[in-house]
Chain A
Amino acid sequence: MQLPLKPDQVLKDALDFNRKITHGLMTLREVGDVAVGTAPKEAVYREDKLVLYRYRPSVDKPAKTPLLIVYALVNRPYMTDLQEDRSIIRNLLDHGEDVYLIDWGYPDGADRFLELDDYINRYLHHCVQFICKAHGLRKINLLGICQGGTFSLCYSALHPERVANLVTMVTPVDFHTPNNTLSDWARELDVDQLVDTVGNVPGELLNWSFLSLKPFRLTGQKYADLADIMDDPDKLRNFLRMEKWIFDSPDQAGEAFRQFIKYFYQQNRLVTGGLEIGGRAVSLDQVTVPVLNVYATEDHLVPPESSMALEKHVGTRDYTTIAFPGGHIGIYVSGRSQKEVPPAIASWLQERSR
């Protein structure tokens, strides 16, 4: 009778795996700690735990209108500049953009009462004001990523006089589209009780949710694949950088988390209406600046449909989409993304600055 595997093959493969781990750990010891965020930058503005960075332009005459990158509160913004050859920021700089980035920092107990109003109308607004003042401009370009894209949409609705063009990347807009697993999981969560109890929401709790989306792959197969590349120090360093980012999850300021889960995940107010931030109504109709919406077709965290919904609701007459064939992480770091996404963003912005 035909066997699916030969017993001696099983034994050889098991031994081979053990050998790979053994050798790999020696390489792991040799590569040491890894560095992330490689593009030269300077801290130009600070407020509480927020730091605004300006990246050193890589062309003689960068774009006159700077581009401010607004990253999510969840995870750290160095994903946009993970390493030299996987850096959206470096690519944008090389294509002539003058790039700023907000680092929201790691909230602690003293930040527990920060609301969405603080993040959008205070921190983000102050960064925009700072850049406008520094460049003698009335408005700048925004690039919002993931939750930062949602924030940027809200900001553009509330402060249209400050935004020249808006780019959103893998941004959730409609939180109630089918197959939005995270949204399904958040529906019955008693977020009031959660925040009242723990104050700031631990990053470990969010990590648990993200890993639970694909547990077999993210907690098993990924490390089996690692065993195959461990003898290559460069590949191992790439893996370590990504791993560092995945588990580098800041705690979430309690009140802002409460509002984000309630208003967006549970009540879907950005699409159904009734969203107020800082006592002011926010509607996507109010977003009248040119919008470029970049989404990933294989995104398991922000389903493409959730991002694509922007087209139906946004008020602008100048709306463009880019469908990137990849996932939520691949859109930042894959080789294809590096070649296609930043040049497309820079080109779209430059067309509108002529």
Chain B
Amino acid sequence: MTGMKDSADAWTQVWMDAQKQYLDTWMRLSGESREWPGTRSPFAWGGTSPWSEPLQQWSRLMTQALPRDSRDISTRLFDLGKSYLGMGETFWHLMQQAQNLTGSTTDWQEAMKDALAAAGGLGLAKEECADPWSGLATFWGLPLNNWQRFACSISPFPGEMEKALRPDSAVQPSDMTRAMRQFLSLPPVGYTREWQEQAQEWVQHYMDYARTLQDFMRLLGTVGQRTTELFSERLAAQLKEGESLDGLRAAYNLWIDCGEEAYAEVVATPDFPHLQAQMVNSLMRLKRHEQEMVNEVMTALNMPTRQEMDTSHKRVYELQRQMSALQDTVEDLAAPQEPPGESRANREPPRARPVKRKAPASRKAVARKPAAAKRRVQPKTKKG
């Protein structure tokens, strides 16, 4: 462990020095060439990213040296760091294009929209946008990654299979989809016909799930588009007022605000809860069918099944409940009888409710005094 720590420390220093040296060199070269801010992207010198790749390598080494509680956080931080650098790169290109524009703010806004659309949104590499998971996995992909992890954890099939089922384009089915459709069209015959029918049913469920997942992803895709629109509008409005952004972080925060606004618009549509529920429901149908198939196999091998385990658990549970109820009865019988006066009070039926005043949200959390809150009602005796 100490060796790992020393190694991580040494790497950290080397990497930090390299970053500083890189920045200094780039700034110097930009200045010398008088092509401010430089014609070549500092984010992708020589076709590769000089920052995100070393960051990734360094993170792999560093994560192993971290305490258990911190490993997930470091992964999320590195993912964010990668996106942030991607965003920096997109912005750097945008600024470079913008300085050549001589027209109005509207021209600039249009140029920015085009550039963002070409990049697929801030922080996204164009080639990654073909894959909705990787695209969404940049700025707000964690819930979707969580969903993918959850879906994989309850299925014997790898998550990669879902990727294989995605159509190559809106009208072009993937090879995997074509193969599945062919399998579905085979008539079930012979000794294995029942098994074939079950397998075909499974394929049908899988294709249903893949379709609902894609529908959901498509809906989420509109969030990225709308975020870009809102972002460029807000930025143009700021420029019109003569204001500029206070650094890359300010741009990032503005992007987040626009993203949440765009997302809230989509969430408020009836399609969102419908598609989200359909996605969960179709995955459960698939999983249920898988369980039935596995149960059959286990039964044939004379192995215990989940169904049998559930039956046993239920019987134990019911026995436990009966035992608990009996214990309660015995304790009640053994307990001394309550005084009659108190008993009456406890059994008093609910009285008619008084009119209650509304409780506005105060600026300061202060309890409303019962006397004030219930001015119109008779004071209640505390111990009835």
Listed in ascending order, the chain A residues whose CB lies under 8 Å from chain B are 1-15, 17-19, 21-22, 24-26, 28-29, 31-34, 109-110, 112-114, 118, 122, 129, 138, 160-161, 181, 184-185, 187-190, 193-194, 196-199, 202, 204-205, 207-208, 211-212, 214-221, 223-224, 226-227, 240, 243-244, 247, 285-286, 288, 290, 292, 294, 297, 304, 308, 311-312, 315, 317-325, 336-337, 340-341, 344, 347-348, 351-352, 354
Of A3, A33, A187, A205, the most chain B CB neighbours within 10 A belong to A3
Using Cβ atoms and an 8 Å threshold, which residues of chain B touch A184?
Answer: 273
Q: Are B74 and A25 in contact (CB under 8 A)?
A: yes
Q: Are A13 and B247 in contact (CB under 8 A)?
A: yes
With A18-B51, A122-B324, A208-B147 already in contact, the answer to whether A5 and B313 are too (CB < 8 A) is no
Listed in ascending order, the chain B residues whose CB lies under 8 Å from chain A are 5, 8-9, 12, 15-16, 19-20, 23, 26-27, 30, 36-38, 42-43, 51, 55, 58-59, 62, 65-70, 72-74, 76-78, 80-81, 83-85, 88, 91-92, 95-96, 98-99, 101-103, 108, 139-143, 146-147, 149-150, 153-154, 235, 238-239, 242, 244-245, 247-249, 251-253, 256, 259-260, 263, 267, 273-274, 276-278, 280-281, 284-285, 287-288, 291, 306, 309-310, 313-314, 316-318, 321, 324, 331, 338, 342, 346, 348, 350-351, 353-354, 356, 359-370, 373-374, 377-378, 380, 382
Q: Are B284 and A14 in contact (CB under 8 A)?
A: no
Q: Which 3 A-B residue pairs are closest in the complex by CB-CB distance?
A: A7-B37, A219-B142, A13-B248
Q: List 6 A-B contacts (CB under 8 A).
A: A5-B247, A6-B95, A10-B91, A286-B350, A320-B369, A322-B366
- CB closest residue in chain B, given A1: B101
With A21-B78, A211-B142 already in contact, the answer to whether A312 and B92 are too (CB < 8 A) is no
Using Cβ atoms and an 8 Å threshold, which residues of chain A touch B370?
Answer: 290, 318-320, 351
Q: Are B365 and A285 in contact (CB under 8 A)?
A: no
Q: Are B72 and A247 in contact (CB under 8 A)?
A: yes
Using Cβ atoms and an 8 Å threshold, which residues of chain A touch B83?
Answer: 220
Using Cβ atoms and an 8 Å threshold, which residues of chain B touch A351?
Answer: 370
Q: Are A19 and B16 in contact (CB under 8 A)?
A: yes
Q: CA separation between A27 and B84, bound complex, in Å?
A: 21
Q: Are A216 and B140 in contact (CB under 8 A)?
A: yes
Q: CA separation between A5 and B112, bound complex, in Å?
A: 13
Cβ-neighbour of A208 out of B12, B36, B146 (below 8 A):
B146
CB distance from B67 to the nearest CB of A (A): 5
Since A25-B59, A221-B253 are in contact, a sample of 16 more A-B pairs with Cβ atoms closer than 8 Å, ordered by chain A residue number, is A3-B95, A12-B23, A19-B16, A33-B67, A109-B313, A161-B346, A202-B150, A207-B146, A217-B256, A218-B142, A243-B73, A317-B378, A318-B380, A321-B368, A325-B364, A344-B366
Using Cβ atoms and an 8 Å threshold, which residues of chain B touch A31?
Answer: 67, 70
Q: Are B309 and A109 in contact (CB under 8 A)?
A: yes
Cβ-neighbour of A325 out of B16, B85, B361 (below 8 A):
B361
With A2-B244, A29-B67, A211-B142 already in contact, the answer to whether A197 and B287 are too (CB < 8 A) is yes
Using Cβ atoms and an 8 Å threshold, which residues of chain B touch A226?
Answer: 73, 77
Q: CA separation between A29 and B77, bound complex, in Å?
A: 14
Q: Are B88 and A13 in contact (CB under 8 A)?
A: yes
CB distance from B264 to the nearest CB of A (A): 9
Cβ-neighbour of B353 out of A5, A18, A315 (below 8 A):
A315
- CB closest residue in chain A, given B288: A197
Q: CA separation between A343 and B65, bound complex, in Å?
A: 43
Q: Are B92 and A7 in contact (CB under 8 A)?
A: yes
Q: Are B85 and A312 in contact (CB under 8 A)?
A: no
Q: CA separation between A212 and B248, bound complex, in Å?
A: 26
Q: Are B284 and A194 in contact (CB under 8 A)?
A: yes
Using Cβ atoms and an 8 Å threshold, which residues of chain A touch B244?
Answer: 2-5
Using Cβ atoms and an 8 Å threshold, which residues of chain B touch A18?
Answer: 19, 51, 55, 81, 85
Using Cβ atoms and an 8 Å threshold, which residues of chain B touch A214?
Answer: 260, 263
Judged by DSSP, the binding face of A is helix
Q: Are B235 and A4 in contact (CB under 8 A)?
A: yes
With A25-B74, A215-B143, A322-B367 already in contact, the answer to whether A11 and B95 are too (CB < 8 A) is no
Cβ-neighbour of B367 out of A1, A11, A337, A344 (below 8 A):
A344
Of B27, B80, B380, the most chain A CB neighbours within 10 A belong to B80
Q: CA separation between A32 and B103, bound complex, in Å?
A: 55
Q: Are B95 and A224 in contact (CB under 8 A)?
A: no
Using Cβ atoms and an 8 Å threshold, which residues of chain A touch B253?
Answer: 221
- CB closest residue in chain A, given B254: A4
Q: Are B359 and A17 in contact (CB under 8 A)?
A: no
CB distance from A37 to the nearest CB of B (A): 14
- CB closest residue in chain A, given B85: A14
With A198-B287, A320-B370 already in contact, the answer to whether A14 and B88 are too (CB < 8 A) is yes
Q: CA separation between A352 and B14, bound complex, in Å?
A: 66
Cβ-neighbour of A189 out of B80, B277, B377 (below 8 A):
B277
Q: Are A211 and B146 in contact (CB under 8 A)?
A: yes
- CB closest residue in chain A, given B286: A197
Q: CA separation between A352 and B356, bound complex, in Å?
A: 20
With A11-B23, A197-B284, A224-B84 already in contact, the answer to whether A2 and B74 are too (CB < 8 A) is no
Q: CA separation between A311 and B248, bound complex, in Å?
A: 48
Q: Are A319 and B356 in contact (CB under 8 A)?
A: yes
Q: Are A17 and B19 in contact (CB under 8 A)?
A: no
CB distance from B243 to the nearest CB of A (A): 9
Q: Are A5 and B99 in contact (CB under 8 A)?
A: no
Q: CA separation between A187 and B96, bound complex, in Å?
A: 49
Q: Are B360 and A323 in contact (CB under 8 A)?
A: yes
Cβ-neighbour of A288 out of B20, B73, B350 (below 8 A):
B350
- CB closest residue in chain B, given A287: B350
Q: Are A11 and B66 in contact (CB under 8 A)?
A: no
Using Cβ atoms and an 8 Å threshold, which residues of chain A touch B316?
Answer: 110
- CB closest residue in chain A, given B251: A5
Using Cβ atoms and an 8 Å threshold, which residues of chain B touch A1?
Answer: 98-99, 101-103, 108
Q: Are A197 and B73 in contact (CB under 8 A)?
A: no
Q: Are A10 and B367 in contact (CB under 8 A)?
A: no
Using Cβ atoms and an 8 Å threshold, which residues of chain B touch A208?
Answer: 143, 146-147, 150
With A25-B62, A211-B142, A224-B252 already in contact, the answer to whether A11 and B77 are too (CB < 8 A) is no
CB distance from B164 to the nearest CB of A (A): 23
Q: CA separation between A75 and B348, bound complex, in Å?
A: 37
- CB closest residue in chain A, given B102: A1
With A4-B251, A217-B260 already in contact, the answer to whether A185 and B273 are too (CB < 8 A) is yes
- CB closest residue in chain A, given B148: A208
- CB closest residue in chain A, given B276: A185
Q: Are A9 and B150 in contact (CB under 8 A)?
A: no
Q: Are A198 and B154 in contact (CB under 8 A)?
A: yes
Q: Are A11 and B252 in contact (CB under 8 A)?
A: no
Q: CA separation between A20 and B361, bound complex, in Å?
A: 39
Cβ-neighbour of B380 out of A17, A292, A317, A348 (below 8 A):
A317
CB distance from B314 to the nearest CB of A (A): 5
